[in-house]
Amino acid sequence: MMPRKELFCVQQIKGFTLLEIAIVLLVFGLVIGGLMGPLQVQLESLDRKTTVNEIGLIKESIVGFAIRNGRLPCPDTDSDGAEDISGSACTQVYGNVPWATLGVGAIDGWKRPFTYRVDMSFADTIDGSGCADDDTAGVSFEICSTGDINVFDSQGGNAVASNLPAIIVSHGKNWAQTSGSDEGENEDNDADFVDKTYASGGSNNYDDIVDWVNLNTLIAKMVLAKKLP
C-alpha cells in the first residue's frame, strides 16, 4: 500500500494535470476562435477573386460566340449548360450562363451557377435592323442597336451602366439567402440590376458580383472581325 504522503502527491499531480489540460484547451479554443474570423474573410476574398476571373472568361467567350455566330448566346434555362433557343428566339432571356455552349466554367467560387440575362434582340436569329444603309445579313444586331439591361448603384438609385446587351451575376457567398432590396434586384428576372460595393452585415448586405458585356466593346470587336460594317 502506498504511504499517505505519496498518495496525496500523486492525486495533487493528477489534479494539476487535469486543470492544466483544461486551461490549454480553453486557450487553444480562444486562439482557434480568434483565427476563424480572419480565415473565413480571407477564404471569401479568394472565392471572390476566382469568381471575378471566371466572369472575365465568360465575357470574352460571349464576344467570341457573337463573332462566330452573329448573335449573343441565349441563357441556359434547364441547367444542362447548353443555351436554350426555340425557333428564332431564346426560350427565356433570363437563366444561367450557358457554360457548355461557351466552353467556360459552370460555377462560381461557391459552386453555384452564374445568372445570365440577355437582350432578346441581340440573341435571336432575326437580323438586326434600324440603322441607315447598314443592315447586315446574318447578324442579330447592328451598330446602332442598344440593349434593354440597366445597372444602378442601388435599387432605384443612380445609373451605373445603361442599354447593355447582356449581364452576368454571381450571387456571392450568401446566394439566395438574401433579404436586401439591392440583392433582390439581381434575382427578380427583370432587366434592372444593382452593382455596388461589398457590404457585409446589416439588413441590406450585398455580396453579389456583377459584370456585363460592354456594348461599345462588343460592336468594336464585331467591326474588327468584319462581321459588322
* Subset of residues 33 to 62 that bind Ca ion, contact rule: CB under 5 A: none
Q: Does 108 bind Ca ion (CB under 5 A)?
A: no
What string marks each residue from 149 to 188 as x (binds Ca ion by CB under 5 A) or -? Answer: ----------------------xx-x--------x-x--x
Q: Does 76 bind Ca ion (CB under 5 A)?
A: yes
* Cβ neighbours for 75, distance < 8 A, ≥ 6 positions apart: 83, 84, 90, 91, 92, 93, 94, 95, 96, 97, 98, 116, 117, 118
# residues near Ca ion by CB under 5 A = 19
At position 199, the amino acid (one-letter code) is: A
**Terminal-to-terminal C-alpha distance of the chain:** 105
Instruction: Report the residue from 47, 142, 208, 211 that binds Ca ion according to the rule CB under 5 A.
Output: 208
Three-class DSSP labels, 164-200:
ECEEEEECCCCCCCCCCHHHHHCCCCCCEEECCCCEC
Candidate segments 24-32, 60-68, 115-123, 195-203, binder of Ca ion by CB under 5 A: 115-123
| Residue among 181 and 214 whose Cβ is closer to Ca ion | 181
> Smallest gap, in angstroms, from Cβ of residue 214 to Ca ion?
19
> Smallest gap, in angstroms, from Cβ of residue 209 to Ca ion?
8
Distance CA 133, CA 111 (A): 47
- Helix/strand/coil for 210: strand
Candidate segments 14-22, 111-119, 121-129, 152-160, binder of Ca ion by CB under 5 A: 121-129
| Residue among 11 and 163 whose Cβ is closer to Ca ion | 163
| Residue among 12 and 88 whose Cβ is closer to Ca ion | 88
Beta partners for residue 212, in sequence order: 167
Strands 192-194 and 149-152, sheet pairing? parallel
- Ramachandran angles phi, psi of 160, nearest 5°: -100, -40
The residues binding Ca ion (CB under 5 A) are 76, 78, 80, 82, 84, 121, 124, 126, 140, 171-172, 174, 183, 185, 188, 190, 192, 207-208
